[in-house]
Structure formats: C-alpha cells, structure tokens
Amino acid sequence: MEVGKSFKRVDAFDKVTGRAKYADDLCPKNAYVSRILHSTIAHGRVIRIDTAEAAQIDGVVKVLTCFDVPDRPFPTAGHPWNTDPGHQDVADRKLLNEHVRYYGDDIAVVIAEDTVAADRAIRALTVEYEAYPFVLDPIESAKEGAPLIHGERQNNNILAHSSLRIGNYAEAIKEPGLIKVEGWYHTPTVQHSHIENHICFAYQEQGQRVTVCSSTQIPHIVRRVTAQALGWPWGKVRIIKPYIGGGFGNKQDALYEPLCAWLTTQVGGHPVKLDVSREETFVNNRVRHAMHAHITSWMRPDGTFAARKLEVWSDQGAYASHGHSVAAKGMGAFPQLYPCDNVETDAWTVYTNKPTGGAMRGYGIPQAMFQNESHIEDIVTALNLDPIAFRRKNSMPVGYFDSFSKNELYEDSFNQCLDKAIEKIDYDRKRARYRHQTGPVRRGIGAALFWYNTAVWPISIETSSCRMIMNQDGSIQLITGETEIGQGCDTVFAQMAADTIGLRLEDVHVFTMQDTDVTPYGSGAYASRQTYIGGFSIRQTGQLLKEKILKHAHTLTRMPADLLDIIDGTIVRKSDNRALMTVGELATRTLYDMERSEHLAAESTYAVKSNAYSFGVTIAEVEVDIPLCQAKVLNMVNVHDCGTLINPQLAEAQVHGGMSMALGFGLYEELLADPKTGRILNDNLLDYKLPTTMDHPDLLVDFVENAEPTSPFGTKALGEPPTCSPAPAIRNAILQATGVAINTLPLNPHRLFEEFTKAGIFRTEQEVISPPSPGRSAEISRVTINA
Amino acid sequence: MIEKQYKQITFTLNGKQVSTSVDVRESLADMLRREFGLTSVKKGCEVGECGACTVLINGDVFASCIFLAIWADGKDVMTVEGLVDTDGHIADIQQAFIDEAAVQCGFCTPGFIMSAERLLRTGKRYTRDELRKELSGNMCRCTGYHNIINAVEKAMNARLEAAGKQPV
Ligand code: FES
Ligand code: FES
C-alpha cells in the first residue's frame, strides 16, 4: 500500500535544484514584452488616449488601447461552464476598459521588444478622462443613489442578493426571557500574495490557433474563457500550465490570459509575454472579498438558541469575477455550524470602485468563521458560559444531514478534534491560569471551529478525467486535468494510482504539465476538491487498466484472471501467492506481440455526485502587550478531520501553510484604499504586511482520521480548511487576555490601540491595571434582555 | 532616444570563470536567467522585498533583482545550481528541504536554500529563534516556514556534527 505513507514529493528534487520549469522559464527568448497602462481615476470614462509619442519610442512594436479591443464582455471566474444561461458567470469586463471602474483599471497596452522601451512608452501615453463619482464601501454602494458602476447592465450596484429562511424568526424572538446578543464583524480585503506573480505568454501557430502558457490553476477553464473573450471556437485555444509558484485562488480566474492571447493576434502571432508586477498582483488581479456582517442571536438562559439572524455585505470591487458565490458560501455555513430552528440570513454582494474580489483560499469561509466564531465567543461571554462546552453542545451534531449537498456528519468529528487540540496545547490548564490577569502583558487562549465543503457539487458539475499509459517496463504515465500548484497533488495522485493498479510509487510517472491539447478535462485546483474528486477518476481508470493487464496475464500465464492480482508491480497467483511475471515483462510482451500488439492504456471520466464535509478546530494562545498594542501568537494548534491521510507529511505541511495564511489574515494583512482617490496605498510587500519567519510560532498540527465513506480513498478537503479558523481563535484569545472583544480584522497595533482606548483599558500612560471585564468594549456585541 | 550601453564583465559563476557582455541597466537576476539559463533565480517582486532571487555574492546573500549585473564583475556568484556537484549529487541543505517537506510550490525554495547555505557556512550554531531572524528576508506563502526552519536546523546539526561539534 502506497496510500497513507509519507512519500517525498515527486517534484521536490526539481524544485530544490531550480530545474522545475515555471512559465517564465519556458518563454521563448524572442518574445515581445507587454506593459499595461492603468487608470489613475477610480471611476469614469476614457475620452482619449494619445499614443503618438509612445508609438515613436525605439523598440515599441504596438500600442493598443481600450478603443481597439473587441466589444465583447466576458466572464472571468474559474467556475466550470454551465450550459444553463441562468447559472453562467457574469460577463462584465472587456480586454481593456473604456468605462474604468477602479483606480488601476486596464486601459491600454504597449507591446515592445524589451521592458525598458515598454515602460518608457507607458509613461509617454497621455489620457483624458471624464471622471464620475465613485464609491468604496459596499454598504454605501448598495444604497439608492450610489454612483452606478455597471449602469450598462443594471440600475443599482447589487451584483446579487440571496437569503435563507428556516422556521419563523419574527415569531421566535417573542419568546419571553430571551437574551439578545448582537454584533458587527468586519474582515478586510487581503491578497493571496503567492510568491510567483501571475505570468503568461501567448503565440500563434497551426493555422492561427493561439497557445497561451500560463501560471494558472485552471487550464481547461481558462481555455474556455479565453475563447469566449476572443469570440473564437474553444478548440482554437490551447492552454499550457507548467509548475506555478502558488495560486491560492487568485489564479482560479482568467487573469490576463485572454488579453495576452489577443495581443499575439495583433502582432501576427509573434510570442508576447505578459509578466505581472507585484504592484499589479495587489491591484489588478483578485483579492479576498472584504465582508461586513451583522449577527443577532436570541438565546435562552440555558444557553440554547431560540432564533438567529445574519446579514452580510460582501465587497465585490469593480468586476463580477467569482461574484456572489463567495458570500453565498459563507452565508451557507451559518445555519449549519450551529443549527437553530429559526434562522434568517441575507447576503448582498455589491460592486464598489475597488480591486476585484475573487476566489481566495477558503472561499468565504475564513470571513464567515471570523463572524460566526467571534459571535459565539460573544454569546458565551455575555451568558457566562464555557466556550468549549458551548461549542460541544451547540455545534453541528453527529448525524446532521444537509439536504442540498447531501453531506452528512458521520462521526463525532468536532468533539474528537477538540479533544486532541485541547490536549496538544494544554488548553484547560492555560485557560484557568489566564483567568483574572492584571498588568500590562497578559495571555489568553481561545478556540474556533470550522466546517468546510470539499468540492462544489451540486452547485456546479464535479467531473474529473484521467489517462494512464503503460510503458514497456510496466511503469505508467499518469495524466489528469487536475493541477499541481504546490499543494502536492502530483504525489498523492501517484500514490493513489500505484495502489489501485498494484504498482510501486516509483512506477508511476506523473505528467505534471497540463496541456489542454493532450490533457483530458479536469476542472483544476479550486475548492479543496482535487484529492477527493481526482481520486474517483484515478481509481476508476486504474481499475480499467488493471483489468486489461490481468486479461493479458490470463493469456500469458493460462491462469484464470480472477485468481490473479498485481502486487508491487508483479503478477501474483492469489491461491498460492506465487509471483508469475512482472508487469514490465507482460507490458513488453503485449506491445511486441506479432499477432495482437497492444499499447496498454486506459482513460475515463468520473462524474462525481457527492460532496463531503471537512471539519476542524484551531486553538490559539496569545500574548498581548497592552501598552504596545501588540498581540503575539505563542502557540497555535489546528486539528483536522480531513478523512484518511493519503500522505501524512504533506498533509501536515499543507496545514502549516493554511495556518500561516490565516495568521496574516488575523494579525497583519489589509489592502488599504485611499478614501480620497480609491488608489491602493500598500501595493507592495513592504507596506502590505505578509507574515515572515519572525511572525510565526512553531505550528502544532494533528488529525482525526475518520475515513470519508463517499470517497474511494476515504479522503476529503484539506487544502483550504486550515485557513478557516485561526483568525477567530486568535481574536478569542485576545478577548480572554484583555476582556476586549475586537470585531474588525486585522488585529494589528493600530486596531488594538483604537479598541483598547475605546474600552478604557489604558488607565494612565505607564500603567495598565484595569482587570478584564467582558463585553466592555464600545462597539462590540450589544447585549439586551427581552422583557 | 537613449543608446544602449554594454559592458564586458568577468566573474566566477558557480565555481567557473565566465565572461559576458551586459546591458549596464540589467539586473544580476535578469542576466543570470537570460544569459546563463539559471532558472533557480526567481523573481517575485524585483525590488528586494521577497527574497526569491537570493544568490550568494562573495559568500554573502544578496537580492539579485536589485544588484546590477555589472557589479558582479570580478566577484564570485553562486546560485542553487552551484550546490549540485558534477555527478548530480545535491547538497545536504537541498536534501533536508526534500526530507522535511519544506517545499511546496517551490518558488521561494532556491532563494531560501541560498540564505540557509550562508548560515551553514558560518559554522555557527543557531537557535530556532536565531534561524527565524536570519531567514526573515525570504518570504514563503505556502509552508508557514515551519518545515523550512526544520530543514535548516537539521542540515545545520548534521554539518556541525560532521565538523566534530557536539549536538545540543
Ligand atoms: S525578486 Fe528580488 S527580492 Fe523579490
Ligand atoms: S513553497 Fe511556495 S512560496 Fe514557499
């Protein structure tokens, strides 16, 4: 068995030697470079762009503007296509936009022989605008009279609204004796900040088809979007995806592939490279939606819910991209994490004149968990209950079934995860010790839960294809449409394939590069789907190949196929465990058979019609220096039930990365827009605080391995889950340490100063002696009691 | 129009003396990639913030994206490619990155390895906290740094032990 073992990554050697090829490493040396001109107003219309001077600059090949591009809006979201027009993504942007909708919108491009010429030409372009009023706040933008951002399409700025009703909220809140706990919770705009910026290059060949080599998570989807943007048949576009330097959802969008494909068509098919700068990554790619949520819970004195209400506004930015699906997913978590008989939820996704919100690791759930799990802590604080006991009692119970996704909580996952986390971080002792602290430096420990959906069925199709080609030595090439983006899927896919067929891991060669001309369809790296979804087609295809091998084994050994098995690359007679021949010998004889030569291969698609809940918990131990307004995470543990671990070492590494990203989300990161202009103020890695080695404690990780019954390998989501619960756990730890509940991320010194001041925690300049008193912070949850 | 200016430079690259003519405006990172095909030299920001382009120059770490190629004249430049011997054996620090699962997308990896290599060459013993401080100029968005610190610590201990210094 290869599944369950901590094999080293199949791509590790190439990556530590610098040999692994990323998009820039494959770009032809003669490629032209391109640079984009970005708008310097947040909202308005380009009246004129003077290109005369730029076009004269030596080395400039062509200058193209928003007046040259096809008048064809296209959608960019990395969702599988839906043949039902009602479920298709919103097509609201062009390759370059005359109607500019955020500070930095793409309005012109220079193609040049080198970057110096291109940069110079960009500076030589002069633009005349007609400026419109702009709006940066989604709640303001949702109101009547706000400047219309997509007036061409709709007469308000609400991209979408959805709601959910369970029971009767209005009636339920009349129950006498209820305690009302309510609060606002805010999460900021953050950016994925993968270390490799998005990059692509495009060229034409073969009768004017276009090939784009791109740093993308979703080659097959990008092919469709690129063709739609060009107005071409989809087969005329070919996308190649080499190794990529991280994606985290940003590259789950068609970023600049459509533009780059169009650029090559404007210069006779000559290769054109579009290399995005770090500044452009922050402003002109995608960001995580900022969300503003208001939650009201009506509690009985015994700590049970009578009724609950959630309203959330999600900041879409200038273009639809993934749009409302993100807020809708976050909203959907609310009634499931803590079920209640009477629930009302509403979510609005609203356009603003800011960078575009897209998919980012967790897809609405990190925001939702901050809202949910901060609010739960406010409830237990108000009611003076134990936070762990409350969660054990009220969170999704064993046997919970969601009729839409058909997901089920099969095991006591939350309690099992909590038990492990509590033990690992020594929660009980620390929680007791950190009660009633005084003094300027205090510690606290806090917890937060999450649940996560593994894949996207039944909202979208879930399908995956796989091809296996056997070599004469009995090894195989494994080809899938699912993409390696750093998470390690090539390695776990190889393990799955080896086990299904009966080969050793070294017999499986993973064809890592997706090329839409040769790779069978797979939707790519998003949700936390690939290990789960890919597993179905790998298992099915492996079984098909195994059947073929055993049929030939029957011919070659005269033994009945059902008495034969393949173990570690050898055909074995099961009745006496005798090794009859190697698979390599069989493959060679089969291919070179004078009568019935056969190239052994198998291919299949599996349409998956299930999904799976993934669960976990974070407990964070934090030290707060009150005079410095600084919170430091001393220890943090994540425990996950992600089913059976295919590769424990890689799974743990995946959790580290997710925790790290959440540490940034919780404590440091926020993309800031200038309220006067809409310009992004911190579009670089000095001013945007990405966590470094210094900001991390050692990260504690553990697992509860409840095999997922719907998966052939017992697996379910792990890619995004680790990033869902750390931020609220840190927030809840700060609450225990200081008595101040802070409901706006990130919890950086600026915010802590503001909140500590409001809470009156500073008594004199030098001295901080006020004891913690829960619920005292000005803006936090208001608690009122029903008459 | 500004004339392009070129300059002939000679320097040691991964142990071998090389000579080339470079545009005086070009960065060392760009020259190493373009002229010598050294794909280990990655660029994540081009302004000295992320560390992906880290190389050793005369044994010290530099962000090659903000180091002019012409400044390499007469110097000793080393990239990750230079850690692999002619038989293809990788260095202990590279193996440690593999063994400790310190590699994910791999884009920060060569830069991190070069920063780590400089530490290992000092022959000093660093605590985990000191390692964190020394490596804080390299950014990684995938690993949470945990396994990277493990890998560097492991290679450091092995080298110290091989040099006859007692492990702690
Ligand atoms: S590319 Fe040189 S430091 Fe980022
Ligand atoms: S492994 Fe991806 S940035 Fe470090």
For the segment A206-233, what is each residue's pLDDT rounded down to a tens digit? Answer: 778 999 999 999 999 999 999 999 999 9
The confidence score (pLDDT) of residue A117 equals 96
Per-residue model confidence (pLDDT) at position B165: 79
Burial class (CB in 10 A: 0-12, 13-18, 19+), A648: middle
pLDDT tens by residue, A267-317: 999 999 999 999 999 999 999 999 999 999 999 999 999 999 999 999 999
Spatial distance between the Cα atoms of A732 and A729, rounded to a whole number of angstroms: 5
- Domain membership of residue B158 (yes or no) is yes
In a shared domain, residues B29 and B60: yes
- Ligand nearest to C-alpha A247: 2
Pairing of the two strands A613-625 and A441-453:
antiparallel
B139 touches ligand 1 (CB under 6 Å): no
Q: Is B72 inside a domain boundary? A: yes
- B44-64 pLDDT, tens digit each: 999 999 999 999 999 999 999
- Searching chain A, which residue's CA lies closest to the CA of residue B81? A17
3-state secondary structure of B66: helix
Which one-letter amino acid corresponds to residue B1? M
Residue A177 has what DSSP assignment? Answer: T
B99 touches chain A (CB under 8 A): yes
Give the domain-ending residue among B80, B104, B131.
B80
**Range(s) of the domain holding residue B101:** 92-162
Question: Mean pLDDT across the stretch A357-382?
Answer: 98
pLDDT in tens, A148-202: 999 999 999 999 999 999 999 999 999 999 999 999 999 999 999 999 999 999 9
Same domain? For B107 and B62 the reply is no
Which band of pLDDT confidence, cut at 50, 70 and 90, is reported for residue A762? confident
pLDDT of res. A302? 93
Measured between CB atoms, which of A8, A278, A486 is closest to B106? A486
From chain B, the residues in CB contact with A6 under 8 A are: 101
Atom of ligand 2 nearest to the CA of B52: 3
Residue ranges of domains in chain A, CATH in brackets: 13-132+198-275 (3.90.1170.50), 291-353+360-402+413-454+612-777 (3.30.365.10), 463-607 (3.30.365.10)
Chain B residues with CB-CB distance to A8 below 8 A = 98-99, 101
Q: Which of A15, A29, A685 sits opposite B109 (nearest CB)?
A: A15
Residue B167 lies in a domain: no
Cα nearest neighbour of A719 on chain B: B142
Q: Answer whether residue B133 is part of any domain.
A: yes
List the single residue in B with minimal CA-CA distance to A361: B142
Residue B168 lies in a domain: no
Q: Tell me: do B46 and B110 sit in the same domain.
A: no
Q: Where are the alpha helices (DSSP H) in A338-488?
A: 365-383, 387-394, 413-425, 427-433
Range A597-605 average pLDDT: 97
Residues of chain B with pLDDT below 70 are 1-3, 167-168
Ligand in closest contact with the CA of A486? 2
Report the distance separating Cα A564 and Cα A580, nearest Å: 9
Q: Is B131 on the interface with A (CB under 8 A)?
A: yes
User: For residue A671, what are its two tokens?
Assistant: 């993309």
The widest CA-to-CA distance across chain A, in whole angstroms, is: 95
Closest A-chain CA to B2: A58
Q: Are residues B76 and B10 in the same domain?
A: yes
Residue finishing a domain among B80, B101, B126: B80
* Nearest-CA distance A21 → chain B (Å): 8
Q: What is the CATH number of the domain that holds B96?
A: 1.10.150.120
Instruction: Provide ipTM, 2 decimals.
Output: 0.98
State whether the beta carbon of B84 lies less than 6 angstroms from ligand 1: no
At A774 the pLDDT is 46
d(CA A12, CA A510): 13
Residue B69 belongs to some domain of the structure = yes
Is the CB of residue A314 less than 8 Å from the CB of residue A158?
no
Does the beta carbon of A693 lie under 8 angstroms from any beta carbon of chain B?
Answer: yes
Q: Is B22 on the interface with A (CB under 8 A)?
A: no
The pTM of this model reads 0.96
- Say if ligand 1 is within 6 A of residue B130 CB: no
Residue B25 is assigned to a structural domain of this protein: yes
Joined tokens for residue A220: 């097959």
Q: What is the distance in A from the centroid of ligand 2 to the CA of A489?
A: 15
Tell me: do B65 and B105 sit in the same domain: no
What is the structure's pLDDT at A1?
Answer: 87
> Are residues B17 and B49 part of one domain?
yes
Minimum distance, in Å, between the CA of residue A193 and any CA atom of chain B: 7
For the stretch A22-79, pLDDT in tens is: 999 999 999 999 999 999 999 999 999 999 999 999 999 999 999 999 999 999 999 9
For residue A642, the CA-to-ligand 1 centroid distance in Å is 36
> Hey, is the C-beta of B85 within 8 angstroms of any chain A C-beta?
no
**B75 and B113 together in one domain:** no
Question: 3-state DSSP call for residue A538?
Answer: helix
Chain B (39-78) residues lying within 8 Å, Cβ to Cβ, of chain A: 39-47, 49-50, 52
Is the residue at B1 inside a domain? no
- Measured between CB atoms, which of B101, B132, B145 is closest to A650? B101
Ligand 2 pocket test, candidate residues A14, A195, A250, A281, most atoms within 8 A of CB: A195
**Cα–Cα distance, A590 to A571 (Å, whole number):** 14
Q: What is the pLDDT of residue A532?
A: 97
Choose one of B80, B109, B132: the last residue of a domain. B80
Would you say residue A778 has pLDDT above 50? no
Domain count, chain B: 2
Identity of residue A168: N
User: What is the least distance, in Å, from the CA of A10 to any CA of chain B?
Assistant: 10
Tell me what pLDDT residue A784 has.
57
Sorting pLDDT into bands at 50, 70 and 90, what band is A109?
Answer: very high
Q: How far is B162 from chain A (nearest CA, A)?
A: 23
Same domain (yes/no): B71, B136 = no
Same domain assignment for residues B76 and B108: no
Q: A242 in contact with B at a CB cutoff of 8 Å?
A: no
Nearest one of A212, A187, A358, A370 to A288, comparing CA atoms: A358
Burial category of A585 from C-beta neighbours within 10 Å (exposed 0-12, middle 13-18, buried 19 and up): middle
Of B39, B139, B147, the CB nearest to A21: B39
The answer on B128 and B71 residing in a single domain is no
CATH code, domain with B21: 3.10.20.30
A146-155: long-range contacts at Cβ-Cβ below 8 A with a sequence spacing of 24 or more?
A147/A43, A147/A353, A149/A43, A149/A101, A149/A318, A149/A351, A149/A352, A149/A353, A150/A92, A150/A101, A150/A351, A152/A99, A153/A90, A153/A92
User: Is residue B11 domain-shared with residue B64, that is, in the same domain?
Assistant: yes
Rg (CA), chain A: 28
